[in-house]
């Protein structure tokens, strides 16, 4: 594992029985860095994030393969894939934490929020109930909940969605993890609240230097917070690049399709080209097309090339990876 | 942007509460009435017997078959001249304690089995739940009678018997609840901060299933009282001279025409207690229904 990385994921795969949900994903994360993981529903982005913490649903025959090396705060390197259930419990919450999409359901409706936030502190730092509550109040204050001390006794249903997501963030960050996995944390929120939450996450990240793996399908959010972007399609990484590069010179036709399907704030009025949808739909994971999994929907499809061999992930430029047999032609056509 | 602790609407401080669960329960007239009735019945069984002028085992041959409201014996006497009221209340002690204890034991077994099967699922869960199904296939009254015929009847063994034949419904209920709750985000979120299985089960999942469990517990008491009455009525349960509502009925059988109060009085006690618990169960079901809570 390279020095100065927090998370090094290598050839990571998750299979549900014969169904490959995530195939051969590799990436690294440095302290203070935000990697956005983008893709449509079913592309494997959530399974990747859950799989790294081994929180995938307990279905039979769920297999996780590859490596996910995490450097803990003390500098020890642990392979999360090989770690025992006991070790994972010690790591979750303390070294790596997670926040979820739906703040309505990710807090337990029967416990006051203060106790829920304090819980991680009690597991990992052995704090007393009282000390944990005191610290929970500070955390709630930190995530911008006004009058935090009085809110300790509030139940989740008494808070709004944005407030609940703030509580979730406080809960996840209670033990100052080195890695935060955020699984679409703003998708269920109003746009104005989204902006507040993103801002909060960035502020906290600057403070704690944690690495963030940010899963989203919202390209606007990506532009806002990410340092690097990884695009997934049908369980595979199809493009990975620094955020500017990805927005300005996308190479994979799928990424280009994604970018063309949303309005760009940097084009005004007449400059805005008409929005285009990507034709077709995601392939059946049990019957993937031969060769490149995007080939049936691709405008640059070349018979004999794209439908024979699955293209490898190639370095188009330093730091810019693309999985496309024709990326050079695609780049030229733009 | 360090001032991002942006002002969030202060209106949220006001708690949007509907009527409390207690108020909703009280509005269910029959349930509230039943609660009062069951409480007074229980209290009467505990407090009144020592205050009565007659003990439940005091035989007075001169006073046999005294009718209710005719002399010093308020509710009359039985064929041995024992005071019916004293016997009714002492029997109530037995019947109610059998009901509550059997409920408590069957809840513990049912919750344990349901929680384990629902949380872990898989092969062990399937085996447990098929065992529950198999147990449910037996008509419980025959099972009760068959087993009690082999056992030395005593209050303890009757409690164990009833508990052993009434935990399955609870196990099913809890299993279904936990299976549904297990996949909810907050269970995954709890694991994501490092909670172990036991903590997720008992702290995150079980408290969310409390409402149906409480309802089931109430109905279970009614069922246990009824079951004890059956067994005692058929002579396999609580043995005389210890009275229970069931064996009082059994004794009354031969005198149904000449001394009908001997059957009517314990019969009424059973009916009131059982319907009372059933109504309380209904009321609790309505009061604890999460859909009615302001969320």
Instruction: Indicate the pTM of the whole model.
Output: 0.79
ipTM value: 0.81
Whether the CB-CB separation of A107 and B186 falls below 8 Å is answered with yes
Task: Please give the CATH number for the structural domain made up of B101-288.
Answer: 1.10.3720.10
User: What distance in Å separates the CA atoms of residue B207 and residue B188, rounded to the nearest whole number?
Assistant: 16
> Which tokens sit at B199?
């903590």
Tell me how close the Cα of A88 comes to any Cα of chain B, in angstroms: 8
| Domain regions of chain B by residue span | 101-288
Find chain B residues with C-beta within 8 A of A55's C-beta.
Answer: 188, 191-192
Tell me how close the Cα of A273 comes to any Cα of chain B, in angstroms: 33
For residue A166, give Cα distances in angstroms to A22, A239, A282, B186, B269: 30, 31, 34, 15, 56
Q: Chains A, B: CB contacts under 8 A, how many?
A: 101
Tell me how close the Cα of A136 comes to any Cα of chain B, in angstroms: 14
Determine whether the interchain pair A144/B5 forms a contact, defined as Cβ–Cβ distance below 8 Å: yes
Find chain A residues with C-beta within 8 A of B4's C-beta.
Answer: 144, 196, 199-200, 203
Find chain A residues with C-beta within 8 A of B291's C-beta.
Answer: none
Handedness of CA B137, B140, B144, B145 (dihedral sign): negative
User: What distance in Å separates the CA atoms of residue A40 and residue A238, rounded to the nearest whole number?
Assistant: 13
Q: What is the CA radius of gyration of chain A?
A: 21
Residue A286: partners with Cβ closer than 8 Å, 6 or more residues away: A18, A19
State whether residue B50 sits within 8 Å of chain A by CB.
no
State whether residue B16 sits within 8 Å of chain A by CB.
yes
Find chain B residues with C-beta within 8 A of A159's C-beta.
Answer: 12
Please report the residues numbered 37 through 96 in chain A whose beta carbons come closer than 8 angstroms to any beta carbon of chain B: 50, 53, 55, 57-58, 60, 89-94
Fold classified for A7-226? Rossmann fold (3.40.50)
Please report the residues numbered 169 through 188 in chain A whose beta carbons come closer than 8 angstroms to any beta carbon of chain B: 171-172, 174
Determine whether the interchain pair A106/B186 forms a contact, defined as Cβ–Cβ distance below 8 Å: yes
Determine whether the interchain pair A57/B13 forms a contact, defined as Cβ–Cβ distance below 8 Å: no
pLDDT of chain A, 334 residues: tens digit per residue: 777 889 999 999 998 888 888 989 999 999 999 999 998 888 888 899 999 998 887 677 788 999 999 998 888 899 999 988 888 988 998 899 999 888 778 888 888 899 999 888 888 888 888 899 999 999 998 888 888 888 888 888 888 888 888 899 898 888 889 999 999 888 888 888 888 889 999 999 999 999 999 999 888 889 889 999 999 998 899 999 999 999 888 899 899 888 888 887 666 666 777 888 888 888 888 888 888 888 888 888 888 888 888 888 889 888 899 998 888 887 776 5
Determine whether the interchain pair A171/B193 forms a contact, defined as Cβ–Cβ distance below 8 Å: yes
Would you tell me the crossing angle of helices B155-164 and B210-233 to the nearest 10 degrees? 130
For residue B153, count other CB atoms closer than 10 A to its CB. Answer: 17
State whether residue B180 sits within 8 Å of chain A by CB.
no
- Phi and psi dihedrals of A107, rounded to 5? -110, 145
Pairing of the two strands A7-16 and A62-71: antiparallel
């Amino acid at each position: 594992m390279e020095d100065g990385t927090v998370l090094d994921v290598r050839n990571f795969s998750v299979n549900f029985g014969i169904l490959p949900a995530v195939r051969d994903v590799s990436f690294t994360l440095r302290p203070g860095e935000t990697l956005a993981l983008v893709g449509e529903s079913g592309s494997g982005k959530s399974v990747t994030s859950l799989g790294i913490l081994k929180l995938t649903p307990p279905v039979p025959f769920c297999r996780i393969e590859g490596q996910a090396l995490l450097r803990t705060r003390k500098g020890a390197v642990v392979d999360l894939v090989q770690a025992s259930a006991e070790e994972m419990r010690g790591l979750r919450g303390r070294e790596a934490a997670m926040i979820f999409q739906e703040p309505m359901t990710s807090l337990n409706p029967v416990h006051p929020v203060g106790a829920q936030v304090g819980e991680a502190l009690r597991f990992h730092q052995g704090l007393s109930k009282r000390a944990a509550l005191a610290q929970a109040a500070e955390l709630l204050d930190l995530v911008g909940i006004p009058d935090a001390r009085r809110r300790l006794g509030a139940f989740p249903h008494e808070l709004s969605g944005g407030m609940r997501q703030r509580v979730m963030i406080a809960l996840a960050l209670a033990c100052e993890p080195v890695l935060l996995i955020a699984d679409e944390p703003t998708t269920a929120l109003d746009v104005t609240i989204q902006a507040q939450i993103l801002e909060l996450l960035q502020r906290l990240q600057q403070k704690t230097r944690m690495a963030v793996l940010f899963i989203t399908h919202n390209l606007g959010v990506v532009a806002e917070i990410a340092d690097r972007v990884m695009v997934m399609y049908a369980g595979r990484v199809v493009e990975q690049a620094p955020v500017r590069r990805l927005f300005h010179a996308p190479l994979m036709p799928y990424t280009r399709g994604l970018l063309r399907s949303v309005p760009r704030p940097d084009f005004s009025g007449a400059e805005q080209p008409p929005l285009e949808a990507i034709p077709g739909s995601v392939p059946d994971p049990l019957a993937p097309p031969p060769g490149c999994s995007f080939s049936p929907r691709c405008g640059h499809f070349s018979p004999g090339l794209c439908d024979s061999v699955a293209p490898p992930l190639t370095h188009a430029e330093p730091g810019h990876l693309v999985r496309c047999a024709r990326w050079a032609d695609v780049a030229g056509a733009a | 942007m360090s001032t991002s602790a942006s002002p969030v609407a202060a209106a949220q401080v006001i708690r949007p509460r509907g009527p409390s669960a207690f108020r909703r329960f009280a509005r269910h007239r029959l349930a509230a009435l039943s609660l009062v009735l069951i409480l007074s019945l229980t209290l009467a069984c505990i407090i009144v017997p020592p205050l009565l002028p007659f003990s439940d085992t005091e035989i007075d041959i001169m006073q046999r078959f005294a009718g209710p409201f005719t002399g010093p014996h308020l509710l009359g006497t039985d064929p041995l001249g024992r005071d019916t009221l004293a016997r009714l209340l002492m029997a109530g002690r037995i019947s109610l304690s059998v009901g509550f204890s059997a409920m408590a034991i069957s809840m513990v077994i049912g919750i344990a089995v349901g929680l384990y099967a629902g949380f872990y699922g898989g092969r062990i869960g399937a085996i447990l739940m098929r065992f529950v199904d198999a147990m449910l296939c037996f008509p419980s009254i025959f099972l009760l009678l068959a087993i009690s015929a082999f056992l030395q009847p005593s209050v303890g063994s009757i409690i164990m018997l009833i508990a052993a034949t009434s935990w399955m419904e609870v196990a099913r209920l809890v299993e279904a609840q936990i299976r549904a709750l297990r996949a909810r985000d907050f269970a995954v979120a709890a694991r994501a901060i490092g909670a172990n299985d036991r903590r997720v089960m008992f702290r995150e999942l079980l408290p969310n299933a409390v409402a149906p469990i409480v309802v089931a517990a109430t109905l279970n008491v009614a069922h246990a009282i009824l079951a004890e009455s059956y067994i005692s009525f058929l002579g396999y349960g609580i043995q005389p001279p210890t009275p229970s509502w069931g064996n009082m009925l059994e004794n009354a059988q031969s005198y149904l025409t000449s001394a009908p109060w001997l059957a009517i009085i314990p019969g009424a006690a059973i009916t009131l207690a059982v319907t009372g618990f059933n109504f309380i169960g209904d009321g609790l079901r309505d009061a604890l229904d999460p859909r009615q809570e302001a969320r």
